[in-house]
Structure 1
């Protein structure tokens, strides 16, 4: 699990509570049930209203991934494909059918099975491209939903503040109560902005980034297996796939190469 999301949210809320404490206020002053209910529940509700039921369910199921999702490791994908290239050169493409049964990755399994079945290279590329495109659309639906919540939340918070201020105006005859009531009214706006920037937008961004990394890994595998089908030499294939990985993520790949060199020695 990559701890970035959990660590970031903990630090962000910690900074907020630290500010409240340093100003001599109380956490209870912003954790009022009524505005929190309107902002949190109302935001999710209008987000669902602006989507479809299936999209909403899909987004909810994708939510845990924002906290527990693990970015794919390019080194593992590259070494797996290079091993397949070496096996194909030694035993033939039909041997990849056994590898297809052993792999847990459905995308790689499908690619290897099609290679073993003799699928044409262009047809296989089209098939894998369609799978990648379907993955992009599916992931975009989930991330877009949470990004939309980040847009709705501040407005819902303002609605809550307006409702509370209406109640304040009804009690102008009680000046002693006006201060606390006005302060409570703005809690809704606070939670609208807070939930948007501390919860919904980070979750949407996290899901989008994980999707990008997973799509990159799928593209890496796709280019690799197509090269295997074409009879690419394993060492050249490793260099080609490594070149497809951004430089800041190549460290793991280079570390894997050094480990292989030590084993060979």
Structure 2
């Protein structure tokens, strides 16, 4: 559980609701179904229009990373790679066949298999760089749907405000209908600006940070395995990999 994300989410909600109460307002006045439909529905439609289905679905699935972030234990990977290096130094590259078969990470498993099969270091680097690049492109495209939502929501909130004011102007002769139009106008703006700056943009930025951390892990694994392929001393490999932890 990512406690920092949970605290941030709860704090932002509490700050808005608390400010409303301190000003003497009612919490129920912030609940406006029409404004919610305009802003969230319009934002969703705009994001769907600009996105590919695969990127949109992946972006939604990645939402769980905000509260349950993938555990990337870089120090543990350094120790594992150094252990593999010592194993290869004692028994040759074929001694890594057992770790390759037992490895659960598909990316690392494929790289280890290339190492065991005797692929040249440059061929291993090329294959791993292609896979890292593909991972980065696919996941960053998925994370960008939240950036897009953060860009569209405030504008659609203003659109909802204008629609509310149009409703007000159409009913100037009927004072009983003015309240609902004004409510839509102001609450739609709150929904648009609030959802963008308290949810969509922070979610997008958090996902990009997590993707960058995973790419750094993969880069570190790549450098370690290439060092093993080149027959480098385990101590040199460890010192090189420690640079990724700085």
TM-score calculated relative to the size of structure 1: 0.88
What is the Cα deviation at residue 187 of structure 1? 0.5
Equivalent in the alignment of 2:97: 97
- Counterpart CA distance in 2 for 1:73 and 1:195 is 32
Shift of 1:28: 0.9
> 2:134 aligned with 1:134, yes or no?
yes
Q: Report deviation, 1:177.
A: 5.3
Alignment of 1:1-265 (within 5 A): 1-175=1-175, 178=178, 181-246=181-246
Distance 1:132 1:2 in 2: 25
Q: Deviation per CA, 1:196-249: give whole Å up to 9, x if none.
A: 011111111111000000000000000011111112222222111112223xxx
The CA distance in 2 between the partners of 1:175 and 1:34, in whole Å, is: 19
Number of equivalent positions: 246
Rounded Cα–Cα distance in structure 1 between residues aligned with 2:125 and 2:4: 34
Distance 2:88 2:2 in 1: 34
CA distance in 2, matches of 1:62, 1:47: 16
Alignment partners' CA distance in 1, 2:85 and 2:45:
51
Task: Compute the displacement of 1:71 (Å).
Answer: 4.2
Residue 130 of structure 1 deviates from its aligned partner by 0.3
Question: Which range moves more in the overlay, 57-66 or 98-107?
Answer: 57-66
Cα deviation, residue 64, structure 1:
1.6
Deviation string 1:160-219 (CA, Å, 9 cap, x unpaired) is: 111111111112123465456424421001100011011111111111000000000000
Partners in 1 of 2:108 and 2:180 — Cα distance? 61
CA contact (8 A) 1:86 1:234 kept: yes
CA contact (8 A) 1:157 1:192 kept: yes
Q: TM-score, normalised by structure 2?
A: 0.95
Q: 1:71 touches 1:214 (CA, 8 Å); kept in 2?
A: no
